[in-house]
Structure 1
Amino acid sequence: MPAQVTPPVEPMLAKVAAAIPDGDGWAYEPKWDGFRAIAFRDEGTVFLQSRDLKPLDRYFPEVHDALVRGLPDGCVVDGEIVIATPSGLDFDALQMRLHPAASRVERLARETPASFVAFDLLAEAGDDLRSAPTSTRRARLERLAATFVPPLHLTPHTHEHATAVDWLARFEGAGLDGVIARRLDAPYSAGARTMIKIKHVRTADCVVAGFRWHKAGPGELVGSLLLGLFDEAGTLQHVGVTSAFTMAVRRQLAADLAPLRVGALDDHPWRHWATAASGSSRMPGASSRWSAGKDLSWEPLRPERVCEVAYDHLQGDRFRHAATFRRWRPDKPPAACRYDQLEVTTPYELARVFTARGR
């Protein structure tokens, strides 16, 4: 039977909350840190759609083939593509798969194979389930997933608030990104932020060692601040950016930071980046296939000012997402901004997440 749900379909989204909602009528799942993907299975093949409605099949041939084997025709499944390693999820390895060379994709598919974690069902046997409540879609997804074998997985699911709180604490050690909460009576609302995501938020004191101009006002408006932390060897490493400022604050930052631009490059710890090859993954001003041609040129600052930022977690030795500016720390010396201030996450076996079950 042909599927009644055809691509493109905007995925249902989530809005951020500070705490896991409690009370009757909620269901909870881990939040996976990967590439969102909707799999459309029909006429013996699969089309994998990304969050921004683009095809993903050529980058993940092993996932495509597994979905062809594991899903029946007329089925549309929402989920996440992840790469699982003994130390948890590896988002860097996942990004490496978005490469134009087919030979490289094939090699990486063998060396770092990806998995698909299903968490919603939009259609089955040609039936459009998007108007059905979460509870119905989940029950049908569980029946469908009963025959899944790796690399296909079904995300854990619980109605127990205490279990969700436990997951938020423990699963981060496997590389997961938090917890998703959704109403049991809610339909699948494409493109709408009807789910709730609760992520880990921590703070760190960072050295402000540079900035980028805002596209709306080069020379007048600061776009983002470049953040650094000292490693054990005393080297200032670039760890990320903070950029959520109002236009008025951006203009004030340009004036406030102007004195720190004087002679900034003379002894700057990132001075070599001014002439480094553009392919360097560690250079704040480098362009790459992830930046989509954006102007990432940067202005050095004497690394004398410290700010406190909120962040969710590290990916390797950098913040996974842009950090949120909290306040300036004039009482904090730059030398005190070290990696050892950051909270260390206790490792957790990813295999235990795949097999976790709530009531």
Structure 2
Amino acid sequence: MFVSPMLLQYSKDNMPFNSAKHIAELKFDGIRLIVSHMDEIRLYTRHNNDVTARFPELVLNAPIPPGTILDGEVIVTDQDGKPDFEGMLSRFQSRRDKTPVTFVAFDIIKHRGIDVNSLPLMRRKGLLEQAFKESDYYKRVQVVRGLTTEYFKIVKQHGLEGIVIKDKDSKYEVDRRSWAWQKVINWTHAEVYISGYRKKRLWMVSVY
């Protein structure tokens, strides 16, 4: 069963902010994934592409019980343990690539067969803790309370993608882009010189 996920807005001026009403989470550099275990385990991208066959290890090693739908990110990590988007893209596009993946859950949409969208975020976080036992294949995102600006500085120092700031009382808004979730991206900049270009398109990558 597919559920169209809740989407984020950019934080104003791409800046973090401290707020007692919000939490922060690491933004993982991977591919958004809905993991659904209703009649069977099915994996979907946010555009409703069934990619179950691409990640057999997430099916064979799924610790989530029937009646559960999770929202999260599937990632590949590099030798330093950091999310590696190029590695994730290679794994996603090639059936020969067997690089291990991990699903990192940050929300729960169904619990024991019941929709929990209308519950506040922190209540859903509690249900997410109950939903499954962590393993090499399934993790839960860590929640940071307070000092979001300091947390973002640490994220930048480690060269990670960014953070997501979430309203503690927010509902899960299916198929909507909401200000209740705001992303702050750790953009990197470089000065480059273009010596030439080619108009003809040689190839195209489709990213979900």
Structures share fold, TM-score greater than 0.5:
yes
The 8 Å contact of residues 33 and 175 in structure 1, kept in 2 or not, is answered as no
Q: CA RMSD in A?
A: 2.2
Structure 2 residue identity aligned to 1:154: R
- 1:166 shift after superposition: 3.7
Matches within 5 A, 1:14-29: 14-17=8-11, 18-29=14-25
- Displacement of 1:93 in angstroms is 1.8
Shift in Å, 1:84: 1.4
- Whether the 8 Å contact between 1:90 and 1:175 is mirrored in structure 2 is no
Q: CA deviation at 1:90?
A: 1.8
The answer to whether structure 1 residue 208 and structure 2 residue 187 are counterparts is no
- Structure 2 letter corresponding to 1:78: D
- Distance in 2, matches of 1:155 and 1:187, equals 18
Q: 1:46, 1:125 → 2: CA distance?
A: 14
Letter in 1 for 2:151: W
Tell me the matched-pair count.
202
Does residue 100 of structure 2 align to residue 135 of structure 1? Answer: no
CA distance in 2, matches of 1:22, 1:149: 32
CA contact (8 A) 1:30 1:167 kept: no
Tell me the CA shift for residue 208 of structure 1.
3.3
Which amino acid letter does the alignment assign opposite residue 205 of structure 1?
A: E
| 2:102 maps to which of 105, 108, 115 | 115
1:286 equivalent to 2:202? Answer yes
1:57 to 48, 52, 56: 52
SS of 1:206's partner is: coil
Matches within 5 A, 1:207-246: 207-210=193-196
Alignment partner of 1:183 is 2:172: no
TM-score under structure 1 length normalisation? 0.52
Shift of 1:288: 3.6
Structure 1, unmatched stretches of 5+, are 1-5, 214-273, 275-284, 292-359
Q: Are 1:78 and 2:65 matched, yes or no?
A: no
Structure having greater relative contact order (Cα 8 Å, sep ≥ 6): 2
Q: Which aligned pairs between 1:225-304 and structure 2 lie closer than 5 A?
A: 285-290=201-206
Instruction: Kindly indicate whether the alpha-carbon contact (under 8 Å) linking 2:18 and 2:149 is maintained by their aligned counterparts in 1.
Output: no
Computing the radius of gyration over CA atoms, which structure comes out larger, 1 or 2? 1
CA distance in 1 between counterparts of 2:43 and 2:156 reads: 27
- Are residues 190 and 175 of structure 1, via their aligned partners in 2, closer, same or farther at CA, if it must alter by over 3 Å? farther
Counterpart position of 1:66? 61
CA distance in 1, matches of 2:189, 2:26: 22
Alpha-carbon contact 1:10-1:53 (below 8 Å) kept: yes
**Counterpart-to-counterpart distance in 1, 2:157 and 2:51:** 28
Kindly provide the amino acid, as one letter, of the partner of residue 203 in structure 2. Answer: S
Per-residue deviation, residues 186-228 of structure 1 (Å, max 9, x unmatched): 1101222221000113443222345687xxxxxxxxxxxxxxx
Give the AA of the match of 2:136: P
- Determine the structure 2 residue equivalent to 1:193: 177
Correspondence for 1:95: 89
**Aligned partners of 1:75 and 1:25: how far apart in 2?**
27
Change (3 A) 1:22 1:81: same
- Within 2, Cα distance between the matches of 1:116 and 1:143? 16
Give 3-state SS (helix, strand or coil) of 1:286's partner.
coil
Partner of 1:355: none
Give the drift of 1:114: 0.4
**Deviation at 1:149?**
1.2
* Conservation of the 8 A alpha-carbon contact between 2:68 and 2:111: yes
Unaligned residue ranges in structure 2 (runs of 5+): none
Matched residues in 1 for 2:38 and 2:137: separation? 20
Q: Is the 8 A contact 1:89 1:175 kept in 2?
A: no
Q: Answer whether contact 1:75 1:126 (CA < 8 A) is retained.
A: yes
Q: Report % sequence identity.
A: 24
1:289, CA displacement in angstroms? 4.3
**How far apart, CA to CA, are the structure 2 residues paired with 1:174 and 1:57?**
32
Could you state the TM-score of these two structures normalised by the residue count of structure 2?
Answer: 0.87
